[in-house]
Structure 1
């Protein structure tokens, strides 16, 4: 069984707006490594649509991009992508699949079928999956910024405090820190 890893950019005040993260070669390499190590990506519909709006065109060569971004686009295009959505059923981007039925069952089956693990990159979906005790580890890229706005991590709340075990912290040159935690047992 593979692990479900939640990874996202987060500012010091908890903002998870994707535009608030530093996008440089080192932060890009951090997320590329996470994707390379995982067997599949997992997103909610909003995150899927954000990614779908740009990366397929870069992968096809329809949009100009530096070599590193084109490499990312080709990798994410090839990676299996699973989407949780109750409002959309058509996911035409290469290797995209909708998860249907009971959320707990669907995610557990995905974890069981993906020995290299599943990388979750959606804040709202993470809240729902954490409520179901399905997230195994957290790899946050903490940005050296205070955004002063939302959306924020777990803004819809959890039923109780989630206790985590520290694994590692890796500072990046831009001032961000890659934090790795796993669920405490």
Structure 2
């Protein structure tokens, strides 16, 4: 059985949107090892339409390693109710009910499925399908921007499975959703 894992940069005040607005330049030196760690074992990427459009505009022409080499070659499934086709090499649309299709994907053999896109990750958390949430806690307060969960009726409990501090003070925190 496959697992779903997300990787998000998060500010101290909980913002996950547009990390380029709150990450200081000197912190970037610690990103490559964290990203390499995150993508190791992933053989499929699941992303929402907005993330697909943003990344398709940037990553095919990028040589920022290790992520560009990974994202430009890995198969990508795009969740969208509006797109009718995809242009990025190795990408295709995920048709049908998202929760049902993702549950079916998880039941297949293979590596980890990386999940990208705030709305998609949130919906998969609510559907209890996310297995791991990887956060890189950035020592900054963004002040404004979207948080990961905006529609929870009650607290979502997590269990910490690992924590790592980088030389520049980033915290790489890996959580699972608490069952029950």
Task: Name the TM-score, length of structure 2 as normaliser.
Answer: 0.89
Q: Is residue 35–residue 41 contact of structure 1 (8 Å, CA) maintained in 2?
A: no
Is 1:179 paired with 2:173? yes
Aligned to 2:133: 138
Q: Is residue 6–residue 137 contact of structure 1 (8 Å, CA) maintained in 2?
A: yes
| Whole-Å separation in 2 of the counterparts to 1:159 and 1:42 | 25
Aligned to 2:153: 159
1:114 positional shift = 4.9
Aligned to 2:7: 7
Aligned to 2:28: 24
Is 1:40 paired with 2:24? no
Aligned residues: 175
Is 1:73 paired with 2:68? yes
What SS class does the counterpart of residue 53 from structure 1 fall into? helix
Q: Is residue 35–residue 67 contact of structure 2 (8 Å, CA) maintained in 1?
A: no
Aligned equivalent of 2:123, options 128, 141, 156: 128
Root mean square deviation, CA, Å: 1.7
What SS class does the counterpart of residue 134 from structure 2 fall into? strand
Is 1:99 paired with 2:86? no
Unaligned runs of 5+ in 2: none
What SS class does the counterpart of residue 50 from structure 1 fall into? helix
1:33 positional shift = 2.3
Q: Deviations over 1:7-56 (max 9, x none)?
A: 21110111112323356132132123212321211111111111111111
Unaligned runs of 5+ in 1: 59-64
1:126 positional shift = 1.2
Q: Deviations over 1:39-81 (max 9, x none)?
A: 21111111111111111123xxxxxx4xxx1553222111111
